[in-house]
Chain A
Amino acid sequence: MDWLDLSFLKKDLKVGALIEARGLTKKFSGLTAVSKVSLSCERGHIHAVIGPNGAGKSTLMNLLSGELRPTEGKIVVDGVDVTGYGSTKMSLLGVGRSYQRTNIYPSLSVLENCNIAVQSRLDMSMQFMRSVNAYPDVESGSRRVIERLQLDSLSYKKASELSHGEQRQIEIALALATDPKVLLLDEPLAGMGAEESLNMIALLQRIRSDFAVILVEHDMDAVFALADTLTVMQNGEIIESDKPAVVRSSPRVQEAYLGTSIDA
């Protein structure tokens, strides 16, 4: 295909961007929840999205993870146009996500939680006559994830018996266990105490180098500790997107969202 010059297609695709949104818009019968949002993230980077309640952050996450279909705009994952793909396909393409409201398997053990996630990457789930014991790869994969998150001591505990902070970590573990390229983290610190938050931030610091991370979070300490790029949303639109230090001093952002809290 030498005769066809495709370079114009690559011009606006940032080099190495694992996930990119272009002009994403989502309308819910009249209400525009997300309006012309463009952002991108590459491996090893954390792109944080902040904004007041109702700014459209969760909708944006649901668009990026395929749980909602954008009204307009494009989503590109690792060079592939995935606009309109559902959450199942997105997951298989390497987009893992965690949820704001813990979304795990409460009645199953931590190990079994991870097993379900790991098995989704191995081609055997339709096998219904052989025992799971015939496939040790699944459990060893789960154990690697559990070790990585230092949850070994909880392996055999039922997820519903864990503390909230621990459940939030299982939430991350499930996403990691699908071996994603892109991680969408929707308020990983939601409802956590100070110490649990610090643990979670440390955890994210440990694993960040392997993924392109898009992070929605209310905890400003966490955002400034983690983010390489900071996008501020308001009423569904991006009002600022830059390095955290630049955003912090932007008068527009201060007025719209951060107010005085950042100086305090």
Chain B
Amino acid sequence: MRAILRKLFFGLIFLALLLLPFWGDRFYIQFASKILIMIVFVSSLNLLVGFTGLVSLGHAAFFGFSGYVLALLSPVDSAMNFFVALLASILCTGVLGVIFGALVLRTKGIFFIMSTLALGEMLFYFLHDTDLAGGSDGMYINSRPDVSFFDWWQLDLANVVHFYYLALITAVIVLIVIRAIIHSPFGRVLAGICVNEHRTKALGYNTYKFKLVCFVIASMIAAVSGFLSAVQFGVVNPEMVGWHVSGHALMMVILGGKGAILGPVIGTTTLMLVEEGFQMVTKHWQLLTGVAIVLVALFFPHGLVGFKFFKKGS
């Protein structure tokens, strides 16, 4: 019975998401797009934190870097092809992922957290203090990439509704990809590393290699979200790579429930809605958010996915 209700519930939500642009006003459609982009980013972090046991405080480096790649590649006066730009952002961020991953994965536990934080902040200050990409002001993307399939179909990314659907499709695809990774032989090894890395090593797995591949995949998925975010606002700035963004995302992972595909979806949506709601009510919204998070941690130690309704089976 609960399984049917669950399917019905998610079906209705998806339907509501599809229909949202028809009754929501501009602000809410934009906000929903923001949530969807964040879901992509938080899901990529969950791949590290929840499924591999790597708690990163520098994941925003990839989010922001990807946006910067787009900003630096975009010509001033003409639009770039969307798919070329996206691919370039993903690949460049993937290279950064290899470099960062190769370094930070030599450490474990608290040292891993600290070194991800350090590398992320290094990138932040690099972008902040050099003139390479606009310094502390960041850069504008004057003409958004052009999504056109030859001549017969075109998306206008400046159009809020068009962008919303792009974000929705992307989020769905990313969740499907992450699901596939988790249920693959590779995902099985990640689960082994997450639960007991020592044993996984002793069983003949070069765990460093597996963690590095996972790290790079996560950085590339983060690149997708950073790219979309840059496209949405038409601007990138150093804050995008700062640890605040990483920490915020980590909070969403934990709030939703790490190690569950739905965790980031629930965590991100909840936190962003709660924050937005409190901001409307009071100036001291952060205080209320803090209380809400403490309450969740108290009553749902495994995150909101621990709420029975979201659970499969029994």
Given contacts A88-B205, A129-B181, contact A105 B189 (CB under 8 A): no
Closest to A94 in B: B204
List of B residues within 8 angstroms of A138 by Cβ:
185
Judged by a CB distance under 8 angstroms, whether A115 is at the interface is: yes
Q: What sequence of 0s and 1s flags, for each residue 93-104 of chain B, a beta carbon within 8 Å of any chain A beta carbon? A: 000000000000
Tell me which residues across on chain B come within 8 A of A140, comparing CB atoms.
none
Q: Are A126 and B213 in contact (CB under 8 A)?
A: yes
Complex alpha-carbon distance, A86 and B183, angstroms: 29
The number of residues on chain A lying at the interface, defined by a beta carbon within 8 Å of a beta carbon of chain B, is: 35
CA distance A112 to B184 in the complex (A): 13
Secondary structure class of chain A's binding surface, majority of residues? loop
Q: Is there contact, CB below 8 Å, between B205 and A132?
A: no
Q: Which of A17-25, A72-80, A116-124, A205-213 contacts B (4 or more CB under 8 A)?
A: A116-124
B64 located at the interface, meaning its Cβ lies under 8 Å from any Cβ of chain A in the complex: no
Q: How far, in Å, is B220 (CB) from chain A's closest CB?
A: 12
How many residues on the B side are at the interface (Cβ–Cβ under 8 A)? 26
Residue of B at shortest CB range from A159?
A: B195
Query: Does residue A143 face the partner (Cβ distance < 8 Å to B)?
Result: no
Residues of A within 8 A of B185 (CB): 119, 124-128, 130, 132, 135, 138
B4 within 8 A of A: no
Residue A169 interfacial (CB < 8 Å): no
How distant is A139 from chain B, measured CB to nearest CB, in Å? 11
Chain A residues near B200 (CB-CB < 8 A): 116
Given contact pairs A104-B196, A108-B195, A174-B199, A88 touches B204 in the complex (Cβ within 8 A): yes
Minimum C-beta distance from A138 to chain B (A)? 7
Which of B183, B191, B198, B213 meets A116, CB within 8 Å?
B191
Q: How far is the CA of A18 from the CA of B47 in the complex (A)?
A: 41
The answer to whether B202 and A67 have CB atoms under 8 Å apart is: yes
Q: Which residues of A contact B199 (CB under 8 A)?
A: 103-105, 174
B204 in contact with A120 (CB, 8 Å): yes
A130 to B187, CA, bound (A): 10
CB atoms of B181 and A106 under 8 A apart: no
Instruction: Find out whether the CB atom of A131 lies under 8 angstroms from the CB atom of B189.
Output: no
User: A interface vs B, CB < 8 Å?
Assistant: 65, 67, 86-88, 91-92, 97, 103-108, 112, 115-117, 119-121, 124-133, 135, 138, 174, 178
Q: Which residues of B contact A (CB under 8 A)?
A: 180-181, 183-189, 191-192, 195-196, 198-207, 210, 213, 217
